[in-house]
């Protein structure tokens, strides 16, 4: 046996709680024995992904040693992803992925879900001592920062990064953490200065990608694209670079380049759900139906053993089958969507997609019947659908001759996303295809102006000192515009102003934070999201 690391102190593991996840009983016993020799006393074991998630739901673990291959069911990568998604582990938990193989697919996939370490069998006592001690020391050094982030005290976390950097100016992990926090709270000028300072010291891929994100946020897509292309020319395995370049090319309408790029990225890391979804979308744009089918099917395969399911791959695959005139297959996948994805919105999306299937495959009567049924639900307020799906449904209504409901849906999208020029253009295209070009342009313009006026009214009342009246106006407007980022942020701003006037109020603070986070879901790059979160934190 190799000798222990000279700097290793067994006492540091006595108080820590470990979870071993492995489908082989012999390996579980071996790992438990190794940990005991390292000083560990609190050790739990799990043989499957579901057992691991159940254990994580019951207990808080300091260190998880999880095998990548766990037999039938979830693999280690999916367990990690689900544990993070459900907040069963925090940033203070050490997660080490273990495997006997080192294939490119596995390594790239695991790194993508960011385990803290990646250990190759056979393991030894010395290896565990050295690697776990190093990880524990790193977590301890960053513990205060991580605690601030968990508490959503982002300004405090930035201050802590800056304090630590005074003694460790060359610590790139701290520099990168600070940059990401500056982006999060909307301090984009400070983030740009930090990225440029890092690049003056060293040509770092993450810093160059950070600058590209800032260009993207400002709508300078060509500039962002060129910078991201430089990143990938120098770092062919930088996965985040592929994702952002594909996103940028999509904004530029360069769908063939997007598809080519994502095929390369999927070769490097085929197990990314988001990347496969993006590939499916690009292939659909290019009418490459076989490739789109492969991508969406891959997403469904990856999620077969996971509780984390979204409608997108089902809808994408149904669209592929519809384009191929495979009605039976399209309806079957939409039936799975309604059954396998929880929530009323998923079922509504499935039904909405069925309208398109029936219409495109010639079953006009069934399309009409279903459209009428959905019309009642939609006008009753069932609007919590992604704007792209709502536009597709509006197009289906227009196609079958139900222009009133189709127009109502288009107006709903414009009201909630009138600052998104791409969505407005898409809405205009749908009106034009339905021979309502001039009328549609007038409707879109009127809808935009009414939305702006409603929100400006709330702000005007606030500027006159009538904050409560301004809040009431915006809360009423939210009935018609529940997903409008600007309205949500204006309402959050007024709630914060009211607390500045009358004092901190827990429920009002929670409501403001909720509004900001919903707005960020629809406007990821809006600077005000971060600024208002920071203002809320300062007020608290």
Residues paired with residue 18 on neighbouring β-strands, in sequence order? 43, 63
* Tally of structural domains, the chain: 3
Task: Tell me if 336 is assigned to some domain.
Answer: no
Extract long-range pairs of 225-231: CB within 8 Å, 24+ residues apart. 225/249, 225/252, 225/254, 231/205
Please give the pLDDT value at position 379.
56
Please give the pLDDT value at position 402.
82
- Looking at the fold, whether 136 and 20 belong to one and the same domain comes out as yes
User: Which residues are CB-contacts of 280 (< 8 A; sequence separation ≥ 6)?
Assistant: 292, 295, 296, 299, 313, 316, 317, 320
- As given in the structure block, the two tokens for residue 212 are 């590209």
Task: Tell me if 375 is assigned to some domain.
Answer: no
Its domain, for residue 170, covers 152-202
Cα 323–Cα 326–Cα 328 angle in degrees, nearest 5:
135
Task: Tell me if 52 is assigned to some domain.
Answer: yes
Whole-angstrom distance, CA of residue 66 vs CA of residue 70: 9
Contact 306, 81 (CB under 8 A): yes
- Looking at the fold, whether 502 and 523 belong to one and the same domain comes out as yes
Residue ending a domain, choose from 99, 121, 141: 141
User: What torsion, rounded to 10 degrees, do the Cα atoms 225, 227, 229, 231 define?
Assistant: -140
Burial status of residue 342 (CB atoms within 10 A of its CB: 0-12, 13-18, 19 or more)? exposed
* Residue 98 belongs to domain with CATH number: 3.40.50.2300
- H or E segment and range at residue 29: helix 25-37
- As given in the structure block, the two tokens for residue 104 are 């490119």
Residue ending a domain, choose from 186, 202, 218: 202
Task: Tell me if 100 is assigned to some domain.
Answer: yes
- Looking at the fold, whether 114 and 35 belong to one and the same domain comes out as yes
Task: Tell me if 486 is assigned to some domain.
Answer: yes
Task: Tell me if 217 is assigned to some domain.
Answer: no
Whole-angstrom distance, CA of residue 423 vs CA of residue 420: 6
- H or E segment and range at residue 64: strand 63-67
Q: Count of alpha carbons within 13 Å of 530, Cβ hemisphere only?
A: 18
Contact 309, 340 (CB under 8 A): yes
Contact 386, 402 (CB under 8 A): no
Q: For the chain, 540 residues long, give each residue's pLDDT as a single digit of tens.
A: 333 444 556 777 888 999 999 999 999 999 999 999 988 999 999 999 999 999 999 999 999 999 998 988 888 888 888 888 777 887 778 999 998 766 655 555 544 456 888 888 888 888 888 889 888 887 776 778 878 887 778 889 999 988 888 866 567 878 888 999 999 888 999 999 999 999 998 888 899 999 999 999 888 999 999 999 999 999 888 888 999 999 999 989 999 999 999 999 998 878 788 899 999 999 999 999 999 999 999 999 988 767 668 899 999 999 999 999 999 999 999 999 988 988 777 888 898 889 889 988 888 889 888 887 776 666 555 456 778 778 888 888 888 888 888 898 899 889 888 888 888 889 999 999 999 999 999 999 999 888 888 888 887 888 898 999 999 999 988 887 888 888 999 999 999 999 998 998 889 999 999 999 888 888 777 778 888 988 888 887
- Looking at the fold, whether 187 and 126 belong to one and the same domain comes out as no
- Looking at the fold, whether 463 and 509 belong to one and the same domain comes out as yes
- Looking at the fold, whether 93 and 175 belong to one and the same domain comes out as no
Task: Tell me if 294 is assigned to some domain.
Answer: no
Contact 66, 96 (CB under 8 A): yes
Q: What 3-state DSSP class applies to 236? A: coil
- Looking at the fold, whether 16 and 38 belong to one and the same domain comes out as yes
Q: CA separation (Å) from 337 to 124, 186, 309, 330, 352?
A: 46, 37, 9, 11, 12
Please give the pLDDT value at position 376.
64
- Looking at the fold, whether 78 and 193 belong to one and the same domain comes out as no
- Looking at the fold, whether 50 and 169 belong to one and the same domain comes out as no
Task: Tell me if 82 is assigned to some domain.
Answer: yes
User: Which residues are CB-contacts of 38 (< 8 A; sequence separation ≥ 6)?
Assistant: 8, 10, 13, 125, 128, 129, 132
Residue ending a domain, choose from 92, 118, 141: 141
- Looking at the fold, whether 475 and 512 belong to one and the same domain comes out as yes
- Looking at the fold, whether 458 and 528 belong to one and the same domain comes out as yes
Whole-angstrom distance, CA of residue 98 vs CA of residue 437: 59
User: Which residues are CB-contacts of 4 (< 8 A; sequence separation ≥ 6)?
Assistant: 125, 126, 129
- Looking at the fold, whether 166 and 198 belong to one and the same domain comes out as yes
Q: What is 148-192 written as a DSSP string?
A: HHHTT-HHHHHHHHHHHHTT-TT-HHHHHHHHHHHHHTT-HHHHH
Please give the pLDDT value at position 138.
76
């Amino acid at each position: 046996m190799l000798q222990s690391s000279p700097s290793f102190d067994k006492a540091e593991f006595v108080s820590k709680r470990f979870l071993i996840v492995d489908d082989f009983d012999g390996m579980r016993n071996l790992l438990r024995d190794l940990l005991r020799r390292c000083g560990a006393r609190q050790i739990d074991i799990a043989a499957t992904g579901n057992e691991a998630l159940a254990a994580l739901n019951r207990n808080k673990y300091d260190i998880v040693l999880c095998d990548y291959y766990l037999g039938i069911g979830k693999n280690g990568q999916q367990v990690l992803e689900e544990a993070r998604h459900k907040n069963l582990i925090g940033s203070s938990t050490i997660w080490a992925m273990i495997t006997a193989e080192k294939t490119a697919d596995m390594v790239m996939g695991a790194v993508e879900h960011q385990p803290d370490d990646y250990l190759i069998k056979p393991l030894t006592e010395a290896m565990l001592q050295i690697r776990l001690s190093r990880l524990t020391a790193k977590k301890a050094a960053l513990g205060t920062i991580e605690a601030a982030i968990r508490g959503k005290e982002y300004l405090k976390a930035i201050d802590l990064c800056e304090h630590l950097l005074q003694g460790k100016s060359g610590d790139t992990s701290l520099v990168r953490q600070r940059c990401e926090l500056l982006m999060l709270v909307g301090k984009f000028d400070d983030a740009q200065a930090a990225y440029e300072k890092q690049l003056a010291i060293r040509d770092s891929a993450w810093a160059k990608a950070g600058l590209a994100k800032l260009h993207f946020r400002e709508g300078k897509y060509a500039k962002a694209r060129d910078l991201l292309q430089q990143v990938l020319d120098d770092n062919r395995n930088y996965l985040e670079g592929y994702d952002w370049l594909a996103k940028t090319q999509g904004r530029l309408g360069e769908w063939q380049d997007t598809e080519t790029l994502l095929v390369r990225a999927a070769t490097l890391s085929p197990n990314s759900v988001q990347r496969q979804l993006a590939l499916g979308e690009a292939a659909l744009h290019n009418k490459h139906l076989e490739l789109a089918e492969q991508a969406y099917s891959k997403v469904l395969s990856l999620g077969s053993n996971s509780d984390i399911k979204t409608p997108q791959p089902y809808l994408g695959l149904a669209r592929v089958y519809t384009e191929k005139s495979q009605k039976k297959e399209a309806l079957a996948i939409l039936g799975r969507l309604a059954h396998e994805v929880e929530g009323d919105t998923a079922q509504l999306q499935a039904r909405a997609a069925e309208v398109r299937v029936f219409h495109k495959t010639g079953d006009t009567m069934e399309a009409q019947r279903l459209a009428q049924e959905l019309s009642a639900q939609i006008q009753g307020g069932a609007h919590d659908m992604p704007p792209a799906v709502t536009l597709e449904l509006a197009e289906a209504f227009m196609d079958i001759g139900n222009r009133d409901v189709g127009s109502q849906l288009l107006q709903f999208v414009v009201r909630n996303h009138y600052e998104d020029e791409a969505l407005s253009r898409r809405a205009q295209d749908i009106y034009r295809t339905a021979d309502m070009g001039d009328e549609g342009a007038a409707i879109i313009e009127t809808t935009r102006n009414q939305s702006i006026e409603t929100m400006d009214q709330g702000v005007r009342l606030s500027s006159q000192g009538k904050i409560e009246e301004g809040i009431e106006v915006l809360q009423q407007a939210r009935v018609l515009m529940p997903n409008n980022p600007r309205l949500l942020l204006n309402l959050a701003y007024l709630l914060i102003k009211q607390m500045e006037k009358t004092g901190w109020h827990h429920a009002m603070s929670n409501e403001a934070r909720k509004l900001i986070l919903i707005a960020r879901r629809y406007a990821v790059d809006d600077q005000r999201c971060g600024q208002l979160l920071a203002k809320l934190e300062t007020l608290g």
